[in-house]
Every structure is written in C-alpha cells, then in structure tokens.
Amino acid sequence: MPNIIKNNIRDVKFGKKCIIVEPVNLYECKIGNNVFIGPFVEIGKDVKIGDNTRVSSHTFVCPKVKIGKNCFIGHGVMFTNDKFSKGIINFKEKNWLKTKIGNKVLIGSNTTIMPVKIVDNVVIGAGSVVTKDIKKAGIYAGNPAKFIKPLK
C-alpha cells in the first residue's frame, strides 16, 4: 500500500485577513497581512510572502523564496531553488539557492523564476523565464527574460 499524503497546512504563521482557497500545501512558511492564495498552490519551507500580495492558482513557491509586499504572482508560476548545474538533483537543503522578489513586482502566468534577485517595481510578462538578477525597475519578457521598457 502506498504512503498517501493529504493536502496540508502545517506550521504556517499567518498575518491578518488572509484568504486561502483549498486545496493547498503550505508548510513552515510566513504569510503576511491581507494575502490571497489561490487553489492548487504549494508554498514551501522558509518562504516569506509580504503584505497585500496575491498568489494565483497552480503556483509553486519552493523553499528559500522571499516575495515582497504588494506583489502579484500569476497562475502557474514556478519558482526553483536548484539550477541542476552539476547534472544531478540536489537533495541537500543547505545547498539550495535563494530567490528574493522585491515590492510591487507583477509576475505573469506560466513564468519560471530561477534563483535570482528582482528589484522593486518590475513587471514580468507571461511565459517568461527569469534566469538572471533583475537590477533595474521596468518591464521584462521572454526566454530568457530581457528588459523591454521602463514603467511609466
């Protein structure tokens, strides 16, 4: 008989006025005030999500990701913490890489975010793949994501 693990919300620190739409998997993370988390979302260990942020359905936020305040994470966004640069899966948590998303960052649906840092006031177009740090506010899109234009 297989070991069946049910959807779970475990050891989460919630701020005030959060909305969580089940089914979700949330564990050992910190969720700020007025955060919305849609269905079929998984948020892992050591993740922090800032106030007034919305995480849409079917999104995976892996361990060691920090998301700022007033952000929007579209449907099906995937965060990673291992680049598989040695051609193997890295099972050791101590070697996982961090991701830091600034404030007022909007990430379009089906975007992949590699372990990077993104400054405040950035828009990332749907379907993009962010492979490098974003150090300047503006609009980015593509695979790999590139600067398109400044925000107005």
Closest CA to 62 of 87, 82, 76: 82
> What's the pLDDT at 91?
85
Residue 1 lies in a domain: no
Residue 34 lies in a domain: yes
| Greatest alpha-carbon span in the chain | 58
CATH number at residue 49: 2.160.10.10
The token pair that represents 68 in the structure block = 């700022």
How many independent structural domains does the chain possess? 1
Give the domain range for residue 39: 9-149
Residue 3 lies in a domain: no
- Global pTM reads 0.95
- What is the per-residue pLDDT across 101-118, written as a single tens digit (0 to 9) for each? 999 999 999 999 999 999
Instruction: For residue 23, count other CB atoms closer than 10 A to its CB.
Output: 12
Residue 62 lies in a domain: yes
